[in-house]
Structure formats: C-alpha cells, structure tokens
Amino acid sequence: MADEIKLTMGKLLEAVSKESPDHDAVVYPDRGLRLSYKEFDQLARDAAKGLMSLGIEKGEHVAVWATNRPEWVTTQFATGKMGAVLVTVNTSYRTSELEYLLRQSDSTTLILMEEYRDASYINMLYEIAPELRTSEPGRLTSKKLPKLKNVIVLGENRYPGMFHWEDLLERASQTSDQELDERMDSLHFLEPINMQYTSGTTGFPKGVMLTHSNIINNARNVAECMKLTKDDRLCIPVPFFHCFGCVMGTLACVTVGATMVPVQEFKPADVLKAVEKERCTALHGVPTMFIAELNDPDFKKYNLSSLRTGIMAGSNCPIEVMKGVVNEMGASEITIAYGQTESSPVITQTRTDDPLELRVSTVGRALPNVEVKIVEPGTNKEVPRGTQGELCTRGYHVMKGYYKNQEETDRAIDNDGWLYTGDLAVMDENGYCKITGRLKDMIIRGGENIYPREIEEFLYQHPKILDVQIVGVPDEKYGEEIVAWIRLKEGEEAAEEEIKEYCYGKIARYKVPRYIAFCEEYPMTASGKIQKFKLREKSIEYKDKAAEKEQAGS
C-alpha cells in the first residue's frame, strides 16, 4: 500500500515537469493545442503570478465558470501554486444559483467564459452586479456581491469592468519567480485548495472544502486502480467543475505523469474522434455518455482499438451498458467508481483485474488507505456482511467540512471521523459493495421496502429499453407507488401493458411499476447525474393525469 503523498498541487506539477519535461501533459485535438509537462508547468506558473499581481492572497476564493477549456485546467494548477482556493461553478447555473454561490463562497475573483448553450454568462453577471459596467477592472464594488473584486473573461471580446485572460498572463511579469516560490513554500498539504458545491438535490448547495491531500491522494489511488501510468492518454469528456473531471480526470493524470485529452463540451462524436486521433488508452464517462457513444450512428467507423481502461461513475451503471463498453469499445479493463464530493470523491472502485461479474454487479472495494463500513441507518452500529445499511467511510479523503456550515458538517461527519454518505449498500465478505439506493430514494409500498436499482437493472434487460429510472409517488392506499420512466431505443415502440407484462412472474408483484411513462430524456445536472427529485415532481403530475383518464374512462 503506497504512502500518502504530502505535496501541494503546485509542487506535484513541478515535480512531474522535472521528471518528464517533454512528455505530453495536455492535448486538445480539436484546437491543435499540445503542451508538454514543462510548458504546462510554466503556463500554470505564469497564471499563478498573474493572479498574485491582482493582490489575491493565499486562502482567497477564485471561482471558475466555464466548460472544459484549456484555461480551466491551467487555473486549477495556477491556484494550486499560489494558494487560492478554486471554487468550481456548475455550467448549468443561472443568475440566482450563481449569485448564491458567489456570495456564500466569498469569492473575490470570477473567471468565466462568454456564453454556453445560448445562455450569456456575461449578461447574467451584469444582471447580478450592474456596477461592473462602470467599474475599473479589479475594483468592483457590488451591492449583491460585496467580496467580488476581479472578473476575468475567457474569449475574444473585451467587456467593461473585466480583465481578459491574456491580461492575466501579461501581468505575470509583475510578480517575481521568487515571490511565487515563497508563496508555494508557504502552503501546507492539509489546507483547502478546492471547493465544490454539492448538487443541491435537497436544500441549498453546500460548499465542500477539499485539501491538497484529499484530492491528490484520491486522484493517485484512482489512477492506481486503473493501472494508469505515464504512457496512458486519458480522454476526459466529463465536466471539470465536478470531481469526476478535475480529480479523477486531470489530477489523476498528473499524479502519474499521464496525458490529459479533454473534450471541451460533451458530444459523442467529439469523444470518439478524440479517442481515435490521440490513441487514447483510457476514457471517463457517466453511463448516459457511454450510452450516447455506443449509439452514435457512426460508432462502427471509429478505431477505438487503443482503449484499455477508464471509469464509469456518477450514477448507477447498467450492466448492459458496461458490457457494451467492454465488448464493443474494447475497454476491457474499465472500472466502476463510487463516491461523493465530500469524499474527494472516490470511496470504492473496482480493479482492472476483477472478473467482469464483479465489475458489473458492484462498485468495487475501498481504495487504498480508505475505511468503509455499513451501519444500521440512523445509528453507528455495524451490520453483518450481506446486510443492507448506510455506507460510511473514513480516511485521508474525507472533506475538511462544509464552508461556513458547521451544523451540516457535524451532521455528515461523526466524532470518530466517519462520513455518513446517505447511500444504502451491501458489502460482501471480500469487501465489495453494491449500492442499493439512497436512503431517501427507497420506496416503501404497503410496508415493503423497494430499491429502485433492483427494478432498473431488471428492466434494462428488456430488448426495447435504452434507459430506465424508477421513482416513487405518494399513494393513499399503499403509501407510495412505483413509476418507471423509460427511454426506448431508437425506432422502437412499446405500450405500458407490454412493459408490465414483461415484469409479471419475473419480479415480485409489488415491485411491478404501477405507472409506466415514456420520455425522450431525463432532467440532469450538468455533471450527468439524473435528478430523481425532478422526476418525482413529474411523476406526481403524471399520476394525476392518469387518475383523471381512469375516472373519465369509468
């Protein structure tokens, strides 16, 4: 078992650049951009010195609101060098969410792109902070965002009150190398360097404070589970603003000196092109991404023979999809990882040499130097192996806490350092875990506990079904009833009764969905997680309409 790395992000990149100066660090095939580790380290240093020239101190919060652009990963390591905490902003955010995050995080600097998917980030920011239009860059005084001073825009155009990314790099000469080195020497690996906001599926999003040690060690262990080495080239289409992108992706590459091949905004064809062009050996994605890639009309035309490994995570990984990735994409050593932002993020992962059965039916076992136990929900009492309970974890990877929210921190982490995930799981005698649902996802129908995952896995086997999500709706008679939201494969048609007929005799009658709803897509977070709470809201509407139809029919 490897010792924990006691380096800061800045020192880690520096060490790798000295060891492999000419090795590819970052490649954007669509932009023709290729940086060696030596070039990338120098660029991160220049950006770090530029940030210091703006007067940004160690521990200040710098928010980044952009897709997987080259400047994002540069900022990740620049802040890691000069000690500002990188606050990642979800690309789907709109004005109220952005205002909440910038206020709650006390961010003094915002780096943003101009627009994304027809939404103008610039206009949204001007709406929240109209004072920006008349302020000098770096001197914003905003009523709603009193801490925000600097706004740095990525793109071609200039805007009132904002610096341009190029200005930041030009300002690097205002800070000496010695000043940066002294700042780097003053940082400690147990200090926060990254802050990510939880999806906010319940209540307001919380800022998860992660230290250099949290994310570097998690990234290195994740790389180890994939058997990632400096000879690997990892295609990263998952968003950087999420731990999947910036810890399991970019940082995992840097811990072993591998090459990062980011995809700026997910499109299945762009991923397949990048893998083929750069001979990528590893690929990350959430199940919906892999489903889209496998179903791309030109899928068969791409040469994916270089693929070996990668990670599928973010939500339940359907067995059929996993088999497609192994057999059709050729990623025979693909792994499954499970965790949450609060655990930096990975807790368990399958290994490349695990038999396929384990890799499709479990989320693996604890990472090195990570403890996992399953307890009776609502208690700290461990349950016997094979018994369902709440998954808890302890180790170097547990967050420092929620920013300015001690109450929620105390609720999540007990006095012995155990993080309570809120996920239901079963652990076998070898330590392999199956996630059976969220504590709040569980459906209780007529006193029977029903776990959506079980029904989803069953329905995935239906030849016409592409994807399925199971949620519960309130019911006067049974307490809750089951709704199945189904996406059919292209060109397929199915009736509600046909799906129910498929279930009868194969799963317990109480598990057969009462309502079958067909849909084109699911409500998603920008990081690819399906928002089941939104599906529940839609389910209530669907149920009410179904009830009206029944009454009209009778």
Kindly report, residue by residue over 428-456, the tens digit of the pLDDT.
999 999 998 777 777 878 767 787 888 99
121-128 and 95-105 helices cross at what angle (nearest 10)? 60
C-alpha neighbours within 13 Å on the C-beta side of residue 417: 9
Nearest to 516 by CA among 473, 457, 478: 473
Domain with CATH 3.30.300.30 in the chain: 443-553
Interval 164-192 mean pLDDT: 98
pLDDT of residue 507: 84
Instruction: Tell me the C-alpha distance between 532 and 490, whole Å.
Output: 23
The answer to whether residues 140 and 148 touch, using CB atoms and an 8 Å cutoff, is yes
What are the pLDDT digits (tens) for 50-79?
A: 999 999 999 999 999 999 999 999 999 999
User: Residue 203: which residues within 8 A CB-CB, separation 6 or more?
Assistant: none
Q: What is the DSSP letter of 415?
A: T
Instruction: Tell me the C-alpha distance between 203 and 342, whole Å.
Output: 16
Interval 475-483 mean pLDDT: 88
Phi, psi of 282 (to 5 degrees): -140, 150
Question: How crowded is residue 163: how many other Cβ atoms within 10 Å of its Cβ?
Answer: 21
Nearest to 458 by CA among 358, 316, 343, 359: 316
Instruction: Tell me the C-alpha distance between 311 and 86, whole Å.
Output: 24
Tell me whether residue 150 is exposed, middle or buried, using C-beta atoms within 10 angstroms of its C-beta: 0 to 12, 13 to 18, 19 or more: buried
pTM: 0.87
pLDDT of residue 44: 98
pLDDT of residue 477: 81
User: Residue 521: which residues within 8 A CB-CB, separation 6 or more?
Assistant: 487
Amino acid, single-letter form, for residue 149: K
Domain with CATH 3.40.50.12780 in the chain: 24-344
Question: What is the percentage of the chain residues whose pLDDT exceeds 90?
Answer: 80
pLDDT of residue 202: 47
What are the pLDDT digits (tens) for 204-229?
A: 789 999 999 999 999 999 999 999 99
Q: Which residues pair with 88 in a beta bridge?
A: 64, 196
443-553 maps to which CATH number? 3.30.300.30
553 pLDDT higher than 90: no
24-344 maps to which CATH number? 3.40.50.12780
Confidence of residue 201 (pLDDT cuts 50, 70, 90): very low
Q: Which residues pair with 372 in a beta bridge?
A: 393
pLDDT of residue 554: 63
pLDDT of residue 203: 55
